[in-house]
Structure 1
Amino acid sequence: MEKSKICIVRLKEPIIKVETQGSIGIENRLTAQEILEADIVILTKDIGIKDEDRFSGNKIVRVGVSDAVKKATQIIEKIETHLNSKK
């Protein structure tokens, strides 16, 4: 069974934290403070996210589970470029 992935990214200090959700529950659960400080939240789009309302108010990018695993670097670089172009 694939796990859903939730990542938060802080670009000011390059920090990436990952929470996973699967058949054994939520692992590495993100704290309310970590979510509040996130510049961007990356959620999987092909598997449901438990307690997704925790991320309301955050900028959210949705990607497939496969892309989140195989193309993580490219996804982060694309997001970083996009956010930096908005400054």
Structure 2
Amino acid sequence: MKIVVVTACPTGIAHTYMAAEKLTEAALNQGHDIKVETQGAMGIENEITIEDVEEADVALLAVDIAVDGEERFRDLRVIKVPVSEAIRNPEAVMAQLGQG
């Protein structure tokens, strides 16, 4: 499965990047292709492109705030989870993506 992910927390420092790391690790362990965009204190990093969206099967937003560019995912199934859930239990978050 190809997954595009956006992570963002209110301060955009630690939790944004912790969620990105945990979700990437869980996705790769389950054999998924993943690209994670972070929207943090440093701005948007590893930005998801139109091509990334077109190739993706699902979008995951691990966010606690509104994110820039959410409309990019209007043609995809979008799953939203809190950043804390992505950090604490990334495997369960990945399991949600296969449902539905």
Query: Shorter-normalised TM-score: what interval?
Result: 0.7 to 0.9
> What is the deviation of 1:70?
2.1
Residue ranges of structure 1 left out of the alignment (5+ in a row):
none
Runs ≥4 residues deviating over 4 A = 4-7
Give 1:24's aligned residue.
42
Return the structure number with greater helix share. Answer: 2
Equivalent-residue separation in structure 2 for 1:53 and 1:78 (angstroms): 21
Identical aligned residues as a percent: 32
> What is the deviation of 1:66?
0.8
TM-score of the superposed pair, with normalisation by structure 1? 0.73
Give 2:66's aligned residue.
48
- Structure 1 vs Structure 2 CA RMSD: 2.5
> What is the deviation of 1:45?
4.4
Equivalent-residue separation in structure 1 for 2:63 and 2:47 (angstroms): 18
Largest Rg, 1 or 2: 1
Equivalent-residue separation in structure 2 for 1:67 and 1:33 (angstroms): 28
Q: After superposition, what is the alpha-carbon deviation per residue over 1:42-62, rounded to whole angstroms, capped at 9, x for unaligned?
A: 113421111111111110000
TM-score of the superposed pair, with normalisation by structure 2? 0.65
Which runs of structure 2 are paired with 1:1-87 in the superposition (5 Å)? 1-2=11-12, 3=16, 14-80=32-98, 82-83=99-100
Q: After superposition, what is the alpha-carbon deviation per residue over 1:24-72, rounded to whole angstroms, capped at 9, x for unaligned?
A: 1101111111111111101134211111111111100000011122211
